[in-house]
Amino acid sequence: MKKLQSSRLVKTLCFLLCILFTAGIACNVVLGLLLTKSNLFYAEKEQLLEIAVEEIVEHYHQNDVRRYVMNVLSEEDQLNRDTELYQMKFSRERSNLSFTVTDEDGAVVLNNYPAVDMGYTFTKTLSIYDYDFDMTRLNEAVSQPEETTVPPETTETELSEELATEMTEPTAAVEQITSTEDTTTSPQEPTEPVSYDEPAYPTSGRTEHIYILDDNGSGYRFRYYYYENEYNEAILQYCTQLFETTAEDIPYAEYTDGWVTFREDDYAVSDNGVVYYRGEREPTTCILGAEQDYPHRDYTVLYTLPKTFTAKDLFYYAQKLTGYAFGYIHKIIPLTICFAVAALVFFILSLLCLGHVKGENAPQARGLHRIPYDIVCAVVLVAVIALAFFVIDDGPYSGPLPIAAALTALALILLSFLATTVVRIKAKTIGSNIFVVRFCRWLSKLIRNAAENKNLLLVLGITFGVVTLAEFIYSMLLYQEDEFIALLFIVKVIEIPLVLLGAINLHKVQNGAKRLAEGNLTEKVDTKYLIGPFKKNAEYLNAVNDGVNRAVHERMKSESMKTELITNVSHDLKTPLTSIINYVDLLKETDVQDEKAKEYIGVIDRQSQRLKKLCSDIVDASKAATGNLSVSLEPTALNVMLPQVIGEYDERLRTKQLQLVPAIPAETVTVNADGKLLWRVFDNLLNNVCKYAMAGTRVYLTLEQAAGTARITFRNISGSPLNISPEELTERFVRGDASRATEGSGLGLSIAKSLTELMGGRFDLAIDGDLFKVTVTFPILQA
């Protein structure tokens, strides 16, 4: 069951069948309505055939018969050849239709073949029109339209009478102009058009039948419906349709918006509805009016059809088709009921299947069902209204088939709407998936996001406001139409969230870039809510972040490996060194008589001690340089610490005959530092002083506060010339050349510098002649 429900094939099949049956119902309904309207719903088979036959004669044979008659009447040779063709067409072998044309006097003009078996018989009047009208008269009408178009109704009858008299002259080619006045308002009009089968049109407008006579004298009939004030436009539109004109066809016309507008002097509309039009097909006259009022001669045609059709012409097939149609018409009601039941069953089946998706337990709203519900509702409403109007409104494109199609479409839309509603209810998304709600939520989130950064909002607001104001002023000065201003307003309302969104996006990306620039590699740009190029940009930034992270990680790895290597090597060095130191010590204890040997032992002793110092310094230097050291920063009072340091070195300085001059303020100067590491820094510096300062000189140690920093300065006079730059001095293993021979590893300053920087301080070295000056600066910790 579940499997069937989630099968795509079953779902599609059910819905398609449902639609198919609905289309059937629509067709049946339209057909039934048509039949009811024509009172044919319960018609007999013969009645149907009769109608079919008359329709065929009227649509397919009447014109041929007319031409045949005209050819026969005419005496021109060229036409005689056509006559032969018509004779062939209407021969007994080819046509079941036999006809006899008699003129007004009862004389037989034409008979194709004598009728054999009188099955169906009916007579029709055939009017042969005189189309050789007077060109001069037309031109007069065109050139003096105001004279011909006399507005008052009273003169109209006079005009008609005048024209009527002219009509009596048989040789004169005269346009018969028929009044096109509303049939309801002027029923006394003598030239009232005959009524046709078409249903009555709304009384507010009027309907007209417009005839055009072509060169053959046969009339095309057009039906046109228009409202009173659109009278002229209606005629113009008619002409456009009639001649299938485009702007190119009619050089006199202007073509705008699909309408052809004739220039005034190219056409004239007489008061009684004649359109004189001079186009390229000149001369052509459109006549609005009834055909029988045009100058013509009437002939009577007696059409006869046999009971059984021998020739396989249209009538033969019409008879067959009528048989089928009759069969169908009688079953139309039960069939419609069957269709309805089937459509209902399949619809229910498809409703059962809807929403079930493979691999999901609960019904899901997927695909088109994810379109917000209010949008769906709006679209459906518009479509339903449009289609309903199409069905009700009997417009120019109306007809049984389009209406059936429209009904089917209507049913399809309504069924789909019902289906999507059911799916949404099943998946419980009907309440949440509403565009208005989602939009409002999105907007409020946007505003909240923007509110987080007030500066951005302020700048944005001011800029946007100024630009908007300028635009409004500008457009008010230039275009004064209210519509344009309103449009601008709507555009602005749409613009605000877009601009806001863009700004927030930009801000996020910028923040990400800023973090990257500051070296904060841990936080990436969140690309979830970014759009378009901002998203791409953020992704690129993240890629850069990844790259830098990788590089830093690798660098760190290699640095820590280096430190590890140095530590291990120094460990391995320490063990043999211990033996050396110990045995040298033991050797000193032994009773060595040789003075030279004693001296050598002394050298080994000194050098092994140096090696020992070097071993521990090298590890420290490498650790300090790579920051591979645990630093616990805590408030440390420098004014307490420096005397402590001095105390530690008091003895040694005195031994070296160095006079220390401290300048340490009494007030508390606290910095954030690791006491042990800071001791190492001062230890190394004072050690340096003891080693390299010239004996008997003064050493200055100063603590100062300046611009939020504490500055500790060590100044001493170097014992040997300093022919080296301060930068080089802090390099590892570098010492002044002259001090090479003395004790020390050459790492002291390097370690001090590294440690200071590790604690967030600054280590500066300056050499001025023999003055050696070290400045250690730390930011003061505010209490």
Partner 1 sequence: MYTVLVCDDEKDIVSALKIYLTSDGYDVLCAYNGEEALELMETHTVHLVLMDIMMPKTDGLTALSLLREKYNTPVIFTTAKSEDTDIVLGLNLGADDYITKPFNPVELLARVRSQLRRYTTLGAAAKPEDNVFACGGITVNDNDKTVTVDGDPVGLTPTEYEILKFLIRSPGKVYSPAEIYRAVWRDDPYGSDSTVAVHIRHLREKIEIDPNNPRYIRVVWGHGYQFATQKGGKPS
Binding residues vs partner 1 (CB under 8 A): 567, 571-572, 574-583, 585-586, 589, 608, 612, 615-616, 619, 630, 635-648, 650-651, 662, 664-666, 673, 675-676, 678-679
User: Nearest distance from residue 578's CB to partner 1, in Å?
Assistant: 4
User: Nearest distance from residue 665's CB to partner 1, in Å?
Assistant: 7
User: Nearest distance from residue 572's CB to partner 1, in Å?
Assistant: 8
Describe the crossing of helices 332-353 and 314-330 by its angle, rounded to 10 degrees. Answer: 60
Nearer to partner 1, 24 or 748 (CB): 748
User: Nearest distance from residue 647's CB to partner 1, in Å?
Assistant: 2
Nearer to partner 1, 426 or 680 (CB): 680
Nearer to partner 1, 101 or 664 (CB): 664
Nearer to partner 1, 288 or 641 (CB): 641
User: Nearest distance from residue 623's CB to partner 1, in Å?
Assistant: 9
Nearer to partner 1, 91 or 607 (CB): 607
Neighbours of 469 (CB within 10 A): 10
User: Nearest distance from residue 586's CB to partner 1, in Å?
Assistant: 6
User: Nearest distance from residue 611's CB to partner 1, in Å?
Assistant: 8
Based on its alpha-carbon atoms, the radius of gyration of the chain, rounded to whole angstroms, reads 55
Nearer to partner 1, 533 or 643 (CB): 643
User: Nearest distance from residue 610's CB to partner 1, in Å?
Assistant: 12
User: Nearest distance from residue 696's CB to partner 1, in Å?
Assistant: 21
Could you report how far apart the first and last alpha carbons of the chain are, in Å? 77
- Residue by residue, DSSP assigns 91-105 as STTT-S-EEEEE-TT
User: Nearest distance from residue 573's CB to partner 1, in Å?
Assistant: 8
Of 689, 635, 701, 692, nearest to 665 by C-alpha is 701
- Residue by residue, DSSP assigns 293-305 as GSSEEEEEEEEEE
- Using CA atoms, how far apart are residues 40 and 52, in angstroms rounded to an integer? 12
User: Nearest distance from residue 675's CB to partner 1, in Å?
Assistant: 3
User: Nearest distance from residue 730's CB to partner 1, in Å?
Assistant: 22
- The strands making up 284-288's β-sheet, listed across from edge to edge, are 219-227, 205-213, 284-288, 275-277, 267-269
CB 177 within 8 A of CB 287: yes
Nearer to partner 1, 517 or 783 (CB): 783
Torsion of CA 224, 228, 230, 231, to 10 degrees: 60
Nearer to partner 1, 550 or 571 (CB): 571
Strand pairing class (98-102; 108-111): antiparallel
Q: What are phi and psi of 106, to 5 degrees?
A: 95, 0
Nearer to partner 1, 352 or 581 (CB): 581
Angle at 361 between CA 355 and CA 362, to 5 degrees: 50
Beta strands in 592-724, from DSSP E residues, in sequence order: 634-637, 659-663, 670-673, 698-706, 709-717
CB 735 within 8 A of CB 748: no
Nearer to partner 1, 331 or 698 (CB): 698
Nearer to partner 1, 203 or 630 (CB): 630
Strand pairing class (284-288; 205-213): antiparallel
- Residue by residue, DSSP assigns 330-391 as HTHHHHHHHHHHHHHHHHHHHHHHTT--TT-SS----GGGGS-HHHHHHHHHHHHHHHHHHH
According to DSSP, the residues that pair with 127 across neighbouring strands are 298
As given in the structure block, the two tokens for residue 295 are 């100058």
Can you count the helices (H) and strands (E) in the chain?
22, 18
CB 749 within 8 A of CB 729: yes
Sequence-ordered list of residues with C-beta below 8 angstroms from that of 356, at least 6 positions apart, any chain: 2, 5, 6, 363, 364
Q: What 3-state DSSP class applies to 633? A: coil
Of 309, 300, 295, 310, nearest to 110 by C-alpha is 300
Nearer to partner 1, 598 or 676 (CB): 676
Nearer to partner 1, 107 or 586 (CB): 586
List C-alpha distances in Å: 171 to 69, 291, 314, 478. Answer: 20, 19, 39, 66
Instruction: Give me the amino acid identity at 561.
Output: M
User: Nearest distance from residue 783's CB to partner 1, in Å?
Assistant: 14
